[in-house]
């Protein structure tokens, strides 16, 4: 391997390793076991239980920090696995030969992240050797005596290669961040549709790949993503909230507009799937308006609050309208209504105790 260092810019040639230590199966076994022992900690960090609880700003920050810790542990685990393989076949680079445990890799993981943050963060590495900081002492314990040598070692660790490392997904992470923010900020009427209900909606609507589909309240994209997973290519949506508009756009569903109720109906959609806002009976206007967007022969499936017979004129007229449109439903409910399991939305990312049912309308 050859190294050049011009103005702190490193160029490395990772051709045939030279002067590698002989195979060391004992050290290889040790590193492999250390890597395997990290599985539980990584899983608990990447999927923290606090992330499954009702989301608040504090819990969101904690969960995000834990996921970052999990990604760091996953990086170190991948290096342990790569080093084990190299020690087993005698191709471990000399610069890495003194690394024999997980703690030896911690400073290299820090440097790895500093590289991605930019030159300013890396200054701590250079001054560390000049001033005898802790990171310099830890690196010297594995025979790394300069900042340049440390950067070379990180490049070598990355070159070991291990397909188990999860590649960064900045778009997915940003979408998750926007989703969590909308929940802990309690964006009005944003209650993500649980997966089991989305699956039932798709089944009732009998969605086919050629269908042109609409979600009038796109939210964080749960319904749109489920449609795309079925191979649907023509998916449109609307969304009011700025953060959720950004999330939908990142996911590939840029909204047609913001306020669905102010948009002029275009009866072009074969299928409309929707989880409308319930507050102040807003679902009534949303469903009635959405029906006007259906193409002839089109079908609409919506999640609605489960309501008992009401004296409220608006609700009574809506119920009568649904009955007039009619469709085959369950015996336990009138016409085109289908009950959801009790407390279905308590499993939503944002807890909701309102009982719900599905309606299925045909044009």
Q: Report whether pLDDT(240) > 90.
A: yes
Q: Report whether pLDDT(333) > 70.
A: no
Q: Report whether pLDDT(171) > 90.
A: no
Highest mean pLDDT among 61-65, 131-135, 299-303, 329-333: 299-303
User: What is the average per-residue pLDDT within 234-241?
Assistant: 97
When the pLDDT of each residue in the chain is averaged and rounded to a whole number, the result is 84
Q: Are 287 and 276 contacting, i.e. CB atoms less than 8 angstroms apart?
A: yes
Q: pLDDT band at residue 165, thresholds of 50, 70 and 90?
A: very low
Domain membership of residue 357 (yes or no) is yes
* Greatest Cα pair distance in the chain: 87
Domain membership of residue 229 (yes or no) is yes
Domain membership of residue 176 (yes or no) is no
Domain membership of residue 123 (yes or no) is yes
- 268 and 298 co-located in one domain: yes
- 102 and 20 co-located in one domain: yes
- 202 and 74 co-located in one domain: no
- 156 and 202 co-located in one domain: no
Cα–Cα distance between 201 and 339 in angstroms, integer? 12
- Among 139, 168, 197, identify where a domain stops: 168
Cα–Cα distance between 317 and 62 in angstroms, integer? 47
User: Percentage of the chain with pLDDT > 70?
Assistant: 84
Residues in the chain: 363
Higher pLDDT, 2 or 130: 130
Verdict on whether the full-model pTM lies above 0.75? no
Residue 276: which of 334, 362, 337, 190 has the closest Cα?
190
pLDDT of res. 49: 62
- 218 and 352 co-located in one domain: yes
pLDDT of res. 159: 85
Q: Report whether pLDDT(210) > 90.
A: yes
User: What is the average per-residue pLDDT within 319-332?
Assistant: 66
Q: Report whether pLDDT(191) > 60.
A: yes
pLDDT of res. 136: 87
Q: pLDDT band at residue 162, thresholds of 50, 70 and 90?
A: low
pLDDT tens for 85-131 read 999 989 999 999 999 999 999 999 988 888 877 666 678 888 888 88
Domain membership of residue 178 (yes or no) is no
Cα torsion 221, 226, 229, 231: sign: negative
246: buried, middle or exposed (CB in 10 Å: 19+, 13-18, 0-12)? middle
User: What is the average per-residue pLDDT within 193-206?
Assistant: 91
- 12 and 131 co-located in one domain: yes
User: What is the average per-residue pLDDT within 183-190?
Assistant: 87
- 206 and 89 co-located in one domain: no
Poorest-pLDDT segment among 48-57, 98-107, 173-182, 342-351: 48-57
Q: pLDDT band at residue 323, thresholds of 50, 70 and 90?
A: confident
- 136 and 210 co-located in one domain: no
Residue 345: strand, helix, or coil:
helix
Q: Are 50 and 59 contacting, i.e. CB atoms less than 8 angstroms apart?
A: yes
Query: 315 is in which domain, residue-wise?
Result: 186-362
pLDDT of res. 10: 46
- Spell out the alpha helix ranges (H) of the chain: 25-36, 39-46, 57-89, 102-117, 119-131, 134-140, 147-160, 170-184, 195-205, 222-229, 242-251, 282-291, 313-325
Cα–Cα distance between 30 and 212 in angstroms, integer? 56
pLDDT tens for 69-82 read 888 898 999 999 99
Q: pLDDT band at residue 304, thresholds of 50, 70 and 90?
A: very high
Domain membership of residue 175 (yes or no) is no
- 262 and 159 co-located in one domain: no
Domain membership of residue 179 (yes or no) is no
Q: Report whether pLDDT(309) > 80.
A: no
| 150 CB-near residues (< 8 Å, 6+ apart) | 107, 108, 111, 125, 139, 144
Domain membership of residue 58 (yes or no) is yes
- Among 168, 203, 228, identify where a domain stops: 168
pLDDT of res. 307: 74
Residue 26's Cβ-side half-sphere holds a number of Cα atoms within 13 Å equal to: 1
- Pairing verdict, β 337-339 and 294-305: unpaired
- 132 and 248 co-located in one domain: no
Q: Report whether pLDDT(312) > 90.
A: no
- 7 and 130 co-located in one domain: yes
User: Percentage of the chain with pLDDT > 90?
Assistant: 48
**What's the CA angle centered on 203, arms 198 and 206, to 5 degrees?**
125
> What's the number of domains the chain is made of?
2
- Among 140, 168, 196, identify where a domain stops: 168
- Pairing verdict, β 269-274 and 234-237: unpaired
Cα–Cα distance between 83 and 157 in angstroms, integer? 8
Domain harbouring 198, CATH code: 3.40.50.150
Q: Report whether pLDDT(330) > 50.
A: no
- 322 and 260 co-located in one domain: yes
Q: Report whether pLDDT(337) > 90.
A: no
């Amino acid at each position: 391997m050859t190294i050049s260092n011009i103005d702190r810019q490193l160029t490395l040639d990772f051709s045939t390793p030279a002067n590698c230590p002989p195979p060391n199966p004992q050290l290889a076994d040790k590193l492999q076991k250390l890597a395997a022992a990290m599985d539980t900690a990584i899983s608990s960090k990447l999927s923290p239980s606090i992330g499954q609880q009702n989301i608040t700003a504090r819990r969101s920050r904690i969960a995000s920090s834990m996921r970052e810790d999990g990604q760091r542990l996953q990086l170190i685990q991948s290096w342990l696995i790569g080093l084990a393989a190299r020690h087993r076949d005698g191709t471990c680079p000399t610069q890495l030969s003194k690394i024999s445990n997980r703690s030896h890799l911690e400073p290299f993981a820090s440097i790895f992240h500093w590289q991605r943050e930019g030159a300013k963060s890396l200054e701590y590495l250079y001054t560390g050797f000049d001033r005898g900081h802790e990171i310099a002492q830890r690196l010297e314990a594995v025979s790394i005596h300069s900042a340049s040598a440390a950067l070379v070692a990180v490049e070598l660790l990355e070159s070991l290669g291990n397909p188990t490392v999860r590649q960064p997904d900045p778009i997915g992470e940003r979408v998750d961040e926007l989703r969590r923010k909308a929940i802990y900020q309690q964006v009005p009427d944003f209650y993500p549709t649980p997966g089991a209900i989305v699956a039932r909606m798709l089944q009732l609507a009998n969605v086919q790949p050629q269908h042109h589909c609409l979600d009038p309240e796109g939210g964080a994209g749960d319904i749109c993503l489920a449609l795309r997973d079925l191979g649907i290519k023509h998916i449109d949506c609307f969304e009011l909230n700025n953060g959720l508009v950004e999330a939908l756009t990142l996911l590939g569903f840029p909204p047609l507009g913001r306020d669905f109720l102010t948009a002029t109906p275009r009866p072009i959609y074969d299928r409309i799937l929707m989880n409308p806002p319930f507050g102040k009976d807003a679902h009534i206007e949303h469903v009635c308006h959405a029906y006007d967007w259906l193409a002839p022969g089109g079908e609409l499936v919506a999640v609605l609050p489960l309501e008992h017979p009401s004296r409220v004129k608006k609700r009574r007229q809506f119920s009568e309208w649904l009955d007039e449109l009619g469709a085959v439903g369950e015996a336990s409910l009138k016409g085109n209504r289908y009950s959801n399991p009790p407390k279905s939305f308590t499993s939503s990312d944002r807890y909701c105790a309102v009982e719900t049912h599905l309606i299925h309308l045909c044009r």
